Chain A
Amino acid sequence: QVQLQESGPGLVKPSETLSLTCAVSGYSISSGYYWGWIRQPPGKGLEWIGSIYHSGSTYFNPSLKSRVTISVDTSKNQFSLKLSSVTAADTAVYYCARQQLTHFDYWGQGTLVTVSS
């Protein structure tokens, strides 16, 4: 059974960089698939942030592209998200997910990140 678990600080100051890691179990990232990040502001809908292939190739939501970095560490079977210059609008539950070409089939439980001084 594929399982994903997000981890990282729950509170980030404005203008700083949000950093999260997604640990994958039950499946080797190096075996394939894309791996994605999606977020959900409190009480709102879902927004795709970006995705990475096991080889390291990435693609991003155009609205966030200038601030997003996604990397993969196959030796640790995990992938990571960095979002720079955060503001209160970046407060959200952040999910990691395994991505088939067209949809997301396994999701982590999500982690709430609050941007506040």
Chain B
Amino acid sequence: EIVLTQSPGTLSLSPGERATLSCRASQSVSSSYLAWYQQKPGQSPRLLIYGASSRATGIPDRFSGSGSGTDFTLTISRLEPEDFAVYYCQQCFSSSYTFGQGTKLEI
């Protein structure tokens, strides 16, 4: 099983700042198989990024994804108040799916 480790656990920033969230895999992951989700309290996860860098439908362009191999990054260029949430990365390998433990982005 591929383990995804996200860092930091909590990120404290202010609106207008840039956020950089990390996701590290225990072994190499195809870029095509790495996704990012946003989850707000009491809501289901929302797909942000798939294929490491492709934005899902309706996702603002302030969200971007990058990376390859074992290191992936989600960047939010200028934080809006609605961006404060928990973010999860997810990978697919050999028909098995695992999620990172999450990064909480707080004001």
Contact = CB atoms under 8 A, between A and B. Distances in A.
Nearest to B99: A46
B44 A108 contact: yes
Given A45-B88, A46-B99, A107-B44, A102 B51 contact: yes
A45 B99 contact: yes
B44 A48 contact: no
Interface in B9-68: 32-33, 35, 37, 43-47, 50-51, 56
B90 interface: yes
Contact of B50 (A48, A100, A108): A100
Nearest to B36: A103
Nearest to B6: A45
Given A103-B35, A109-B44, A62 B50 contact: no
Contacts of B35: 102-104
Interface string A90-117: 0000010000111111011110000000
Given A46-B45, A48-B97, A102-B50, 9 more contacts: A45-B88, A46-B88, A47-B99, A51-B97, A59-B95, A103-B92, A105-B47, A105-B56, A110-B44
